[in-house]
Amino acid sequence: MDSKTVTDLFQNGQVLKICAPMVRYSKLAFRTLVRKYDCNLCFTPMIVAADFIRSVKARDSEFTTDQADRPLIVQFAAKDSQTLADAACIVSPFSDGVDLNCGCPQRWAMAEGYGACLINKPELVRDMVRLVSNQVDNPSFSVSIKVRIHQDVRSTVDLCQKAEAAGVSWITVHGRTAEERHQPVNYDAIKIIKDSVSIPVVANGDIKNIKDVELIHQMTEADGVMAARGLLANPAMFAGYGDTPLQCIWDWVDIALEHGTPFTCFHHHLMYMMERITSPQEKTVFNALTSTSAVVDYLNETYS
């Protein structure tokens, strides 16, 4: 990355296009791919901070990066300030910021005190943000949070204002509650939160194509948009492609082979990317392939 900080990116007047933290999927190889197609900022998958600190093996498997993998935000699940700050200090030389996950609705995360249950602990979130800011010795390192909304958006506004007062750099808002899965995204709530703070706000939820990026920006006035499943289905979405272009599929093959991506991950990404451009019969054949060489042979036979 050049000398620009993440805060600088938010100030360039463009809507920032961000790849969400996705379990198993937003690893280095996929981040490398979406960066080729106008993605401005990438997140790692969520990493449990306590495990990350405790185990070298966990660090090696959960956090891989390279010089081109910037700007990069490392997302942590944490439930106490010092653990988050320790993890942030470890990754700070290799990334541009850390993000505290306050949005994961999975039962295991909530049961452990991680993720979306933190939206009901605004004082704890405030303390965690403050300690990271104080202990990471880099003034341009960003500290952000990713939240879901409350049923009463005033509670979310209170949380975000407390985080802002503690020095949070920016906030991503997923416009659903922790209980909601496929219900419509509440973009009005994101707009209310955007209007209640003076730091950048990123809108997250159901961004499936480049038109959604502009529409949701207009509806929320958010400073950026974050996509997850939309990018899985079409990693070239931010560059304006309606469906995954053939070049993007071959780019993924090259990048995945170069990074030694495990077959299951390599194959799953292609299944997502080819979902809308293959017939049911083609899907049946492709999804049954069991080796990288078989996949490459299939693509060569079908698309070259």
DSSP string, 195-251: HH-SS-EEEES---SHHHHHHHHHHH--SEEEESHHHHH-TTGGGT-SS--HHHHHH
In this structure, are residues 222 and 190 in contact, taking their beta carbons and an 8 Å threshold? yes
Amino acid 1: pLDDT: 41
The neighbouring-strand residues paired with 227 are 19
| Cα 245 to Cα 251: distance, rounded to the nearest angstrom | 10
How do the domains of the chain map onto residue ranges?
6-239, 246-303
The alpha-helical segments, DSSP class H, found in 27-152 are 28-35, 49-54, 56-62, 81-91, 107-111, 122-135
Question: 151-184, pLDDT tens digit by residue?
Answer: 999 999 999 999 999 999 999 999 999 999 899 9
In this structure, are residues 50 and 121 in contact, taking their beta carbons and an 8 Å threshold? no
pLDDT at 2 over 50: no
Question: 88-117, pLDDT tens digit by residue?
Answer: 999 999 999 999 999 999 999 999 999 999
Task: Give me the percent of the chain exceeding a pLDDT of 90.
Answer: 94
Question: 194-244, pLDDT tens digit by residue?
Answer: 999 999 999 999 999 999 999 999 999 999 999 999 999 999 999 999 999
215's CB contacts (< 8 A; 6+ apart) are none
Query: What's the mean pLDDT in 17-31?
Result: 97
Q: pTM, whole model, 2 decimals?
A: 0.96
Identify the burial level of 143 via C-beta atoms within 10 angstroms of its C-beta, where 0-12 means exposed, 13-18 middle and 19 or more buried. Answer: buried
Neighbours of 139 (CB within 10 A): 7
Is the CATH number of domain 6-239 3.30.43.10?
no
Q: Which residues of 22-31 are buried (b: 16+ CB within 10 A; e: fewer)?
A: beebbbbbbb
Across the chain, mean pLDDT equals 95
Query: What's the mean pLDDT in 30-34?
Result: 98
Amino acid 3: pLDDT: 52
For residue 55 the two structure tokens come to: 């185990």
The residues annotated as belonging to the active site are: 104
Query: What's the mean pLDDT in 39-58?
Result: 95
